[in-house]
Structure 1
Amino acid sequence: MNRRGEQRASRRPGTDDVRRLLVGSPPIYTRRQVAETAGISRDLAARIWRALGFATLPDDAVAYTEADLSALRRIRHLLDAGLLDERTVIRMTRALGRTTGRLAQWQAEIMIESVLDRGGGDVAGVMDTVRRLLPDFEEMLLHVWRSQLTAAAGRLMSLTELGQDVGPTRLMLAVGFADLVAFTRVTRELDEPALADLVEGFEALASDVVAAHGGRLVKTLGDEVLFTAGEPRAAALIALDLVDELKAGEEGPDVRIGLAYGPVTPVMGDVFGTTVNLAARLTAIARPGTIVADGEMAEVLGGVSDFDLVKLRRRPARGLGVVQPYVLRRPGRER
């Protein structure tokens, strides 16, 4: 190998190398140029760019590729055909940007850790692994997205079968909050790798349990998870399994869970409303290792043999007045 080849082989890959690997074509357009060529306004192009989660660049910055131009042309065709309006385009774009942004960050962290653990050792090793995996990952991403879209549609269809009007502002759902006990104290006792393992293990377990019963994991926040289910029975089984699975080992952490059933407002993949707030307040009432449900959940589950419900004294819940809580547990189990 000549000296120039040796220099190329030993040079540390940079941002341009990453762009070429993942995107392909280099940036050749300014915002004005890409907008005019695609046939949309510069303002809309800028709003789409921001909605995707990318920084606003000067008008004369060469930052857009042929792939960006192709995407904007697709958007223009959707607008011209009347399939979407500008507001819907921005909302869909923001959903895409936020979701894929977290996905990309998460996958990048996993890949770097995995390659380094196997002795890949440097950026070049990571990029070589990504180069080999990228085609399969890209195909898998499309398949999983279609499958998740099918699952989301199925959940909405199941609600219509229960007699609900599935609209954009109100759904009847069972909502659950699960909260790791004494998480603040635990964070002081664990080193950073052990804390990361605890959080990832909790989220992974919660995700598996929620999925197993046909629920949806709405979001996670370190020591907390929020999930929903179309039927109270499914939410109750999720909560019971979470408590049991986390304590499968003697050293497993305790969790407390609040459950509520009622109308919720779905927004941007999240859920809001009094029912969600009530589930959170009931979590604060619950003792370690217990599940506390509201009156609506208790009424639906009261005649089901899979569950025991123990009525507690009425108590105030911040911002919601006085509530009637119930402890939910498996039949015959004392706590």
Structure 2
Amino acid sequence: MARTYTAAEVADEATCPEERVHWMTSIGLLTPDENGRFTFGAVLSVKMAIALLATSVPAESIERAAAEGLLKFQRTDEYLPYQPGPLSSRTFAEFQASAGPRARLLPAIFEVLGLPKPDPNAPIHADEEALFERFLEAWAMAPDEDALIRAARLMAAGTRAATGGWMDLQDEQVAEPARERLLRGELEEFPDDVRVGFTKVTRLAPDMFLWLSARYLEQRSVSGIVEGFERYLATRGLAPIPEPPSPPAIVFVDLSGFTRLTRERGDESAVVAATSLQRHADAVATRLGGRLVKLLGDGAMLRLADAAVGVEAAFDLVSTMSSEGAPSPHAGVHSGPVIERDLDVFGQTVNLASRIADVAGPGEVLASEAVVEAAGKVIFGFERIQDARLQGFPDPIPLYRVVRAGP
């Protein structure tokens, strides 16, 4: 049976005065059961009303809209995939004191996760205490305390990107068309079938995230265990010593004339081009065993296993974008040592790949001498062009244009 809440408990969850809950009940925006209790959806309703008041909508306007049936908070429970359990019997400060020395990092971890820092004198939910106890225990063997902050930052960045993008997409595809019709006066109220569809997409997101993250963890676990076991067997003379890995390749692909495209064809055309670059860059990197490191507005940065694969990725991506009529795609490739931290990549190899891309012409892929020496000429050829002086590098850099080898 679903838990219900008193008005005071709703106010605690929504961090507002209890009078706000009573006010919303009096104007019909909240409906208690026969015992005067509320479902957790009331908390979401109160938060939405508080947000409306914060936008300078006066309380009198909310009361009038509620009276005329223009504002309703119905079925809010259906929008909430997660409902927290009861509040802890102890304050957050007491929880910290019991959770070990690294629990002092929890306020910073909350902040990195994008959540308000807990009030030391107020409780958090008991299930949240259990979750953070597991978090502290799971990372207990990490010698560097900063690892906990980094772990939280990684989880926050991935979750925020996935959920934010998911919600933006469902708003664009499901809710916005109906909302526009409502604002134009073509509808009397928000269509129930759209609300149901919106709810289905909202509630699907956590399940999809859990399933897909489990699949990714499985893939990484298998590859990591196999690699470690192979190296261990080699140290015991039971397997060949693995070849040292080749230095990775960094690829920058940019779209020239992005500002002009926006000016001449409008923002929507620029969005289409940037979205296409993201989709193709992610697909090419995944197909070739690399990854899309980041998007840079009108560009993308990829990390590939070695020089040959990096050249293939750059050439394929520039060719694909050119065939779609993208504004002057071009790329730069360099291979060498990098520093990888929290899914980002740093170092001189990255800087040089970026500078090479800057001097590539429309439809052109340029590579460094290190790439040419490591990649070979089985699939691609390399034409020496004039050495280039690149920002941040004191000496001229030898460059090569990548061309498709063979007939």
TM-score range, shorter chain: 0.7 to 0.9
**What is the total number of aligned residue pairs between the two structures?**
319
The answer to whether the Cα contact below 8 Å between 2:107 and 2:118 also exists between their aligned partners in 1 is: no
SS where residue 176 of structure 1 aligns?
Answer: strand
Deviates more, 1:39-48 or 1:175-184: 39-48
Between the aligned partners of 1:125 and 1:263, the Cα distance in structure 2 is 51
Quick check: which has more Rg, 1 or 2? 2
Please state if 1:137 is matched with 2:208.
Answer: yes
Measured after TM superposition, the shift of residue 323 of structure 1 is 0.5
TM-score with structure 2 length normalisation?
0.67
Letter in 1 for 2:344: D
Letter in 1 for 2:113: L
Quick one: which of 267, 279, 284 aligns to 2:341? 267
Deviates more, 1:141-150 or 1:324-333: 141-150
> What is the aligned partner in structure 2 of residue 167 from structure 1?
none
Quick one: which of 150, 167, 175 aligns to 1:116? 175
> What is the aligned partner in structure 1 of residue 287 from structure 2?
212
Q: Over aligned residue pairs, what C-alpha RMSD do you find?
A: 3.6
**1:22-79 deviation digits (Å, cap 9, x = unpaired):** 33116735532543464566632212212323233543456x3233211111134336
Measured after TM superposition, the shift of residue 203 of structure 1 is 0.4
Between the aligned partners of 1:178 and 1:248, the Cα distance in structure 2 is 15
> What is the aligned partner in structure 1 of residue 158 from structure 2?
99
Once the two structures are superposed, the pairs formed by residues 131-210 of structure 1 within 5 Å of their partners are 132-134=203-205, 136-147=207-218, 149-150=220-221, 153=224, 161-164=242-245, 172-210=247-285
Measured after TM superposition, the shift of residue 144 of structure 1 is 3.9
Measured after TM superposition, the shift of residue 89 of structure 1 is 2.1
- Identical-pair percentage: 25
State the structure with bigger RCO (CA 8 A, min sep 6), 1 or 2. Answer: 1
Instruction: From the superposition, tell whether residues 208 and 313 of structure 1 become closer, same or farther in structure 2 (CA, over 3 Å).
Output: same
Measured after TM superposition, the shift of residue 127 of structure 1 is 5.0
**1:145-181 deviation digits (Å, cap 9, x = unpaired):** 31563588499879994414xxxxxx82111100011
The answer to whether the Cα contact below 8 Å between 1:308 and 1:331 also exists between their aligned partners in 2 is: yes
> What is the aligned partner in structure 2 of residue 284 from structure 1?
358
SS where residue 154 of structure 2 aligns?
Answer: helix
TM-score with structure 1 length normalisation?
0.80
SS where residue 179 of structure 1 aligns?
Answer: strand
Structure 1 gaps, min length 5: 165-170
Please state if 1:300 is matched with 2:370.
Answer: no
Letter in 2 for 1:145: Y
Measured after TM superposition, the shift of residue 257 of structure 1 is 0.3
Between the aligned partners of 1:271 and 1:41, the Cα distance in structure 2 is 28
